[in-house]
Structure 1
Amino acid sequence: MASSPYITAEGYAELNQELTARWARRRDVVKALSAAAAEGDRSENAEYIYRKKELREIDRRIRYLQKRLPDLKVVDQAPDNKDHIFFAAWVTVETEEGDEKEYRIVGPDEIDASKGYISIDSPLARKLLGKTIGDEVVIEVAGQKKVYFVLAIRY
């Protein structure tokens, strides 16, 4: 399944900053690579081998970002109906055990568990979309049913 093209304005700005930073880092790596190449035998030159690998990784990420950024659809406005859960919503849910958790539904390029950001493509986010406060959501994870109750929604 292809990932959703949606992204928040903050997420888009972060990806653009990452692309700029990768280009800057690439310039530094190319300089270091040239210096390492000038040292002679490349087959036993650890610095040269390391820099070549680092350059490949940087180039791979730059190619990905250059291909992905134009395809993204920035969602920078809250929906008209803020009583329902849509993309970019902060959602507070309660588990059956009584634990409260807050998640923000974001694009797949913005996932960050430490911030509570979950992908719109995740099973929980897909079930939450369109729900409102008081609704119950049931998902199956690793063969077990998990029940969540929507407590709050904010944008």
Structure 2
Amino acid sequence: MSRGFVKEEDQEEAPVIPPRAALPVGATNYVTPLGFEALENEKHDLERERTKLPEDNETEKRRAQAVIDGKLKLLAERRASARIIYPNQQPEDEVRFGAKIKLKNHSNGSIQEFQIVGVDEADVKKQKIAFVAPIARAVTGLKIGDTTEFKLGNETRTLEILEITY
């Protein structure tokens, strides 16, 4: 049909669905039990939101529903690919997925603490970094007292593992 015969209000643009946190191609989608629970809660929240869409404006309802459906689809893919790793089943003396670590940056003497988690639960403000982050990859497999060279731009930092907890 020619676009000349289509009403302007029928020419809706597809809504933009924000992408989920990036997971490298071929990478396993590791999550902690709390991370998987958060994915489940997100699903329930989106389903609840879908039932509470405004009835008075059909166009707005359709757009909002399309956004929620898109988010649910991406979430379903992420949930289906999730592989739960239980931190309490990791070797206690080695940095692995789920570890909370304290390390010292010998380059400036600062102490840094964070937990290595899945990409969907990573939140720097909560000191949670994704297992695919360069610093997480640099320290994975290390033990207390071990050091590693971590390159950040033109700078190389010497990091020492001070503490590992799960």
Fold similarity call, TM over 0.5 = yes
Taking the aligned partners of 1:126 and 1:104, their CA distance within structure 2 comes to 12
Distance 1:151 1:108, change over 3 A: same
Taking the aligned partners of 2:134 and 2:100, their CA distance within structure 1 comes to 16
State yes or no: 1:144 paired with 2:162.
Answer: no
Deviation at 1:98, TM superposition (A): 1.3
Residue 66 of structure 2 aligns with an amino acid whose one-letter code is: R
The answer for unaligned runs of 5 or more in structure 1 is: 38-47
Structure 2 partner of 1:131: 142
CA contact (8 A) 2:87 2:99 kept: no
Residue 97 of structure 2 aligns with an amino acid whose one-letter code is: F
State yes or no: 1:14 paired with 2:38.
Answer: yes
The answer for unaligned runs of 5 or more in structure 2 is: 1-23
Taking the aligned partners of 2:134 and 2:87, their CA distance within structure 1 comes to 24
CA contact (8 A) 2:87 2:98 kept: no
State yes or no: 1:154 paired with 2:156.
Answer: no
State yes or no: 1:88 paired with 2:114.
Answer: no
Could you say what secondary structure the match of 1:78 adopts? helix
- Could you say what the CA RMSD is over the residues aligned between the two structures, in angstroms? 1.7
Taking the aligned partners of 2:86 and 2:96, their CA distance within structure 1 comes to 12
Taking the aligned partners of 1:108 and 1:80, their CA distance within structure 2 comes to 19
Segments ≥4 residues shifted beyond 3 Å: 51-54
Structure 2 partner of 1:44: none
Moved more, 18-27 or 136-145: 136-145
Using the size of structure 2 for normalisation, the TM-score is: 0.78
Calculate percent identity across the aligned residue pairs: 23
Deviation at 1:125, TM superposition (A): 0.7
Deviation at 1:70, TM superposition (A): 1.6
Residue 25 of structure 1 aligns with an amino acid whose one-letter code is: E
Moved more, 2-11 or 126-135: 2-11
Structure 2 partner of 1:43: none
Deviation at 1:76, TM superposition (A): 1.9
CA contact (8 A) 2:32 2:87 kept: no
Q: Name the structure where helix makes up a greater proportion of residues.
A: 1
Taking the aligned partners of 2:39 and 2:90, their CA distance within structure 1 comes to 27
Structure 2 partner of 1:97: 108
